[in-house]
């Protein structure tokens, strides 16, 4: 490519960017720094200003050319459809979606306190009461999704965002899908999400129930909350599958977690159950003794109040 062509392309790109910014400004939006990067997208800090209000938002920018045909025709329409349908206090709310030239803009809630993985890395493992405080909120979100026959399929600590210090919101619906049909559960064959949170049936390439995948991932998240470590090492998938199927991590964990309640250990056993038909449903999780228990007898009032203040 000649220097003249390169210069021409740069000018064209700058012109398109300026035009896009003018359109965004007319609609009340301004785009700031990048705060996250995905496979086909960037998430930026944004500001929306109108006569009535001014508020910070997050903006997911998806470049249609980079994303490719399969993503644009299959995954993105599904994600946008689901995001526009759902409304729950513990799920990221989408405020606007529109397209300018080759870029799709999705404006949504901004969670300024980061994600749960960052929080765990900073504070270490959570007390059982604090883990329960956050996990109840996450379960509420997943229960809502499953009631609408929607599976998230990418549940992980990185997608659990802290809207405030005591209010979490579930994010990133790029792999979410509807999973009901006239004949029952609509099984999935697509590998989605992170291997570290993947259930054994997915790692083995078996068609899977998307909702049961969510349940397994919830078990991984709960494990991380109370141990500040991942339950499974995904650097060796064959070894990981063997560990999952043999329930090795739970056998070791049960002997080490003497300070945690039996109700917590029982729930983890139902969530990280390798046999799908024995794994808990979301309704069973909601009714579990551990979540229904308001406050363990071993926890002090000061510890419980610390959940709210930190």
Identify the bridge partners of residue 75 per DSSP, sorted by sequence position.
none
Identify the bridge partners of residue 233 per DSSP, sorted by sequence position.
none
Q: Which residues are catalytic?
A: 154
Please give the sequence-ordered ranges of beta strands (E in DSSP) within the chain, or none if there are none: 29-37, 41-49, 54-63, 94-100, 103-108, 150-151, 160-164, 167-170, 177-178, 180-181, 184-185
Helix (H, G, I), strand (E, B) or coil at 245: helix
CB of 31 closer than 8 Å to CB of 24: yes
- Residue 56, annotated as binding a ligand: no
**Main-chain dihedrals φ then ψ at residue 63, nearest 5 degrees:** -85, 115
> Could you give the angle at the alpha carbon of 214 between the alpha carbons of 274 and 256, nearest 5°?
55
> Could you give the angle at the alpha carbon of 81 between the alpha carbons of 77 and 86, nearest 5°?
150
Q: Which of 235, 244, 234 is nearest to 200 (CA)?
A: 244
Strand bridging mode 160-164 / 167-170: antiparallel
CB of 41 closer than 8 Å to CB of 61: yes
Binding-site annotation: residue ranges for ATP: 60
Binding-site annotation: residue ranges: 60
């Amino acid at each position: 490519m000649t220097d003249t062509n390169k210069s021409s392309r740069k000018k064209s790109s700058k012109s398109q960017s300026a035009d896009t910014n003018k359109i965004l400004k007319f609609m009340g939006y301004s785009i700031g720094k990048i705060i996250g990067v995905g496979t086909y997208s960037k998430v930026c800090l944004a500001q929306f200003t109108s006569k009535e209000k001014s508020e910070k938002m997050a903006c997911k920018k998806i470049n249609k050319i980079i994303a490719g045909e399969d993503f644009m025709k299959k995954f993105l329409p599904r994600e946008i459809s689901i995001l526009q349908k759902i409304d729950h206090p513990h799920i990221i709310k989408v405020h606007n979606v529109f397209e300018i030239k080759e870029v799709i803009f999705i404006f949504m809630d901004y969670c300024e306190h980061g994600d749960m993985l960052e929080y765990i890395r900073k504070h270490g493992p959570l007390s059982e009461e604090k883990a329960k405080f956050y996990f109840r909120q996450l379960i509420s979100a997943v229960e809502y999704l499953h009631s609408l026959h929607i599976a998230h399929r990418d549940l992980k600590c990185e997608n659990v965002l802290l809207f405030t210090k005591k209010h979490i919101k579930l994010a990133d619906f790029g792999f979410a899908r509807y999973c009901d049909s006239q004949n029952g559960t609509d099984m999935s064959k697509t590998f989605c999400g992170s291997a570290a949170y993947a259930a054994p049936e997915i790692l083995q390439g078996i068609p899977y129930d998307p909702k049961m995948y969510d349940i397994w991932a919830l078990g991984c998240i709960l494990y991380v909350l109370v141990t500040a470590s991942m339950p499974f090492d995904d650097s060796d998938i064959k070894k990981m599958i063997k560990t999952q199927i043999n329930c090795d991590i739970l056998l070791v964990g049960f002997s080490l977690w003497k300070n945690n309640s039996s109700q917590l250990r029982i729930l983890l056993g139902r969530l990280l159950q390798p046999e799908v038909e024995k794994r808990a449903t979301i309704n069973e999780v909601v009714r579990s003794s551990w979540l229904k228990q308001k406050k363990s007898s071993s926890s002090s009032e000061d510890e419980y109040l610390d959940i709210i203040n930190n």
